[in-house]
Each structure stands twice: as structure tokens, then as C-alpha cells.
């Protein structure tokens, strides 16, 4: 049995203490003026869960966070975050305290609203595109061919129509973002899942801008001559802007990274940076000669990649100005707390 962490709340002068927040076994583990929202849970490997089971866990995770945010400002934790016991929870709170306070300053009084805009009738849009002169000309040239229309011809036509569709989507998305950007602090777009979707994005807004933002969405929904439909979800915690993740390190990987960069058993951030620059200089792609064989270049690339990974790992591990890589000092630094990029 471990501890599942939903997020970190800012208790401030309102000391949540250690107690129940909901009737479903969700409680808080406090440290100074912040607390982790946790539950006792069997540790599950989310990466191997079937789709329906993963969806149920995701919904439960979101419901807890959205209930808590009705009373507290919360930094959501990445779904599937488990630790072994309360000592590890406190280690997270202790190590991340300064960062949590900085994030709370950025999200206090702000929410996320997710917006999806889609074509009402994609076939009608494609029919409109078929009236473009370039499309009409290609269609006529294919009809005039004496030979059978080939697969390459069909691909060429499809690519042309796809290009015009993407252009229309980009133009429409630009109008939407331009209309909303003055009402939000930040925008993060998702990858388009299909041709139907014009814009799929998260908007980070101040609480007082929620009503004007939703009114603007309604105006947009009534615009575009009925060709575009809007759906929005919120208010939400800042899932797409400030989500915490925990990385549990192994001593062997830290010790190996130290050896790769030829560092001692104690180092500052500047020491790590200098060691990386020195080690990487020989193997950097720009330093390789045209006279080298492909095998030599491949070996240099592997060494450079190994050095870079060691540097990134030690940079994450050494969150203070200086750190120890001695095994006896590792336990207190084995859990890394950071904002998911």
C-alpha cells in the first residue's frame, strides 16, 4: 500500500492540517503552509492499464482535484503519481516548497478553460474548396487525360484539397485566438486529432475574465456563418500550464553520471556545467572532421549523447546550488520535484 498524490494545495493562514477533505478517503499531509492531497492506495503501473481502466482513474483524479479547487488553490500532480509512504510525501513537500510558493503566485485566482472548435459540416467545406480555381483546373486536367487516372493523380488531388483545408483551418484558428487572446494570460494548443478539428487549446485566464471569455466564445459560436461549432470545458485547474511530476532516481545512475563528467563526490551547479562543457567539447557534432569514418562519427555521437544525458540528470538532481553525490547523502535527494514541461 502506497500514497497516491493528487496535487499540492496552498493552505496559507487557512491551515488544512492533516485531515479529511472528502468522504472518499482523500486527506491532506501538511508541511508549513502547503499540503499534499493524498489517498492510501495500492500502487498501480498506469502505463500498463487497459484504456477503460486508465480512463476511470483519470476521471477520479480530475474529480478530486476539481472538488478541492472549490476551496483551495491547487497545483495538479501528474496522473499516476505514487510514493511509498508519508515520509516520501513530506520529502516532496520539503524539497518543492519554494517552487510551490512561486507557482501559487502565478495561479492564484486563475483558471484554465479548454476550447475545441470544429467544422459543423466538413463535406460542405470540402465542396467549397472544390470551387477553388487551382482545384478546378487540376480536376479538369485529370478528366481530359486519355490515360486512366492513376493513384498518384488521386494523391495529388487529395494533397491539394488537404492544403486548402489546412489553410482554411489556420485562418479560422487565427481569428479565434486573436479574438480571445486579450482575455487570457496564456494559450497552449494541442495537436489536431482530425480534419474536423480547427482549434483544440487550453486558455489560462483570471477568474474575473471567465464571464467575458465565455461570452466571447458564445459570440464566436454564433459567427462564422454557422460553419464552426464551439465547445468549452471549465473552470479547470491549470492542467496544461502547471502540472507537477515526481522523478525517483537511483543512486547507480547518479554515480554513473558523475563518473562520465569526471566529477568528485560534491559539486555545484557551475561545476556540473563546466564539466559538461569540457567533456562535450571533444565529441560535439560540430567538432567532427569530414576525414573521420562513419564508425568514428557514430561513436562520437554516442559519446556526446551519453555526456548530455549525464549532464541533464545531474542538473535535475542538483536542485540546490551545490549537492553531494555520496551514497550516504543520496536518500534525501532521491526524489525530484519539478513542473512537467
Structure-model confidence comparison of residues 66 and 292, the more confident one = 66
One-character DSSP codes across 247-265: EE--HHHHHHHHHHTT--S
pLDDT value at residue 36: 92
Confidence of residue 312 (pLDDT cuts 50, 70, 90): confident
Identify the CA nearest to 235 among candidates 30, 69, 55, 8. 69
Structure-model confidence comparison of residues 14 and 6, the more confident one = 6
pLDDT value at residue 147: 76
Phi-psi region of 330 (alpha: psi -120 to 50; beta: other; left: phi over 0): alpha
DSSP label at residue 20: B
Predicted confidence (pLDDT) at residue 271 exceeds the cutoff of 70: yes
pLDDT value at residue 188: 93
**Which fold would CATH assign to domain 249-339?**
Helix Hairpins (1.10.287)
Phi and psi, residue 87, nearest 5°: -60, -40
pLDDT value at residue 212: 94
Q: For residue 291, what are the CA distances in angstroms to 255, 285, 286, 297, 304?
A: 35, 13, 13, 10, 19
- How far apart are alpha carbons 68 and 79 in whole angstroms? 16
Give the model confidence (pLDDT) of 81-136 as tens digits: 888 888 888 888 988 888 899 999 999 999 999 999 999 999 988 888 888 888 88
With pLDDT > 90 as the criterion, what percentage of the chain qualifies?
A: 28
Predicted confidence (pLDDT) at residue 194 exceeds the cutoff of 90: no
Give the model confidence (pLDDT) of 138-179 as tens digits: 788 877 777 777 788 788 888 888 888 999 999 999 999 999
- How far apart are alpha carbons 85 and 329 in whole angstroms? 20
Q: Which helix (H) or strand (E) holds 147?
A: none
Gyration radius (Cα) of the chain, Å: 27
Domains of the chain by residue range: 2-108, 112-236, 249-339
pTM as predicted: 0.75
Q: Coil, strand or helix: which one is 186?
A: strand
| Summary mean pLDDT of the chain | 84
Predicted confidence (pLDDT) at residue 197 exceeds the cutoff of 90: yes
pLDDT value at residue 333: 66
Amino acid at each position: 500500500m502506497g500514497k497516491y498524490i493528487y496535487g499540492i494545495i496552498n493552505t496559507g493562514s487557512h491551515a488544512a492540517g492533516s485531515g479529511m477533505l472528502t468522504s472518499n478517503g482523500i486527506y491532506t499531509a501538511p508541511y508549513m503552509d502547503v499540503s499534499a492531497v493524498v489517498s492510501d492506495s495500492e500502487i498501480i503501473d498506469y502505463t500498463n492499464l487497459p484504456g477503460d481502466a486508465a480512463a476511470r482513474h483519470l476521471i477520479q483524479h480530475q474529480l478530486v482535484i476539481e472538488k478541492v479547487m472549490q476551496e483551495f488553490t491547487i497545483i495538479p500532480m501528474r496522473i499516476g503519481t505514487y510514493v511509498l509512504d508519508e515520509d516520501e510525501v513530506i520529502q516532496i513537500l520539503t524539497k518543492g516548497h519554494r517552487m510551490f510558493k512561486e507557482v501559487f503566485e502565478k495561479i492564484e485566482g486563475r483558471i484554465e478553460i479548454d476550447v475545441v472548435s470544429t467544422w459543423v459540416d466538413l463535406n460542405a467545406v470540402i465542396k467549397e474548396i472544390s470551387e477553388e480555381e487551382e482545384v478546378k483546373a487540376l480536376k479538369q486536367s485529370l478528366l481530359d487525360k486519355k490515360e486512366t487516372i492513376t493513384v498518384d493523380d488521386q494523391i495529388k488531388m487529395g494533397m491539394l484539397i488537404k492544403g486548402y483545408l489546412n489553410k482554411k483551418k489556420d485562418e479560422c484558428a487565427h481569428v479565434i485566438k486573436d479574438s480571445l487572446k486579450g482575455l487570457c494570460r496564456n494559450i497552449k494548443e494541442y495537436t489536431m486529432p482530425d480534419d474536423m478539428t480547427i482549434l483544440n487549446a487550453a486558455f489560462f485566464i483570471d477568474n474575473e475574465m471567465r464571464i467575458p471569455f465565455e461570452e466571447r466564445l458564445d459570440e464566436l459560436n454564433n459567427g462564422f456563418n454557422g460553419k464552426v461549432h464551439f465547445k468549452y470545458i471549465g473552470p479547470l485547474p491549470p492542467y496544461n500550464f502547471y502540472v507537477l511530476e515526481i522523478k525517483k532516481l537511483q543512486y547507480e545512475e547518479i554515480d554513473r553520471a558523475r563518473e562520465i563528467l569526471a566529477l568528485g563526490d560534491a559539486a555545484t551547479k557551475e561545476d556540473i556545467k563546466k564539466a559538461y562543457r569540457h567533456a562535450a567539447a571533444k565529441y560535439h557534432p560540430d567538432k567532427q572532421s569530414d576525414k573521420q569514418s562513419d564508425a568514428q562519427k557514430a561513436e562520437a555521437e554516442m559519446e556526446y549523447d551519453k555526456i548530455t544525458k549525464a549532464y541533464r540528470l545531474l542538473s535535475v538532481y542538483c536542485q540546490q546550488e551545490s549537492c553531494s553525490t555520496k551514497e550516504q547523502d543520496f536518500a534525501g535527494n532521491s526524489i525530484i520535484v519539478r513542473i512537467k514541461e
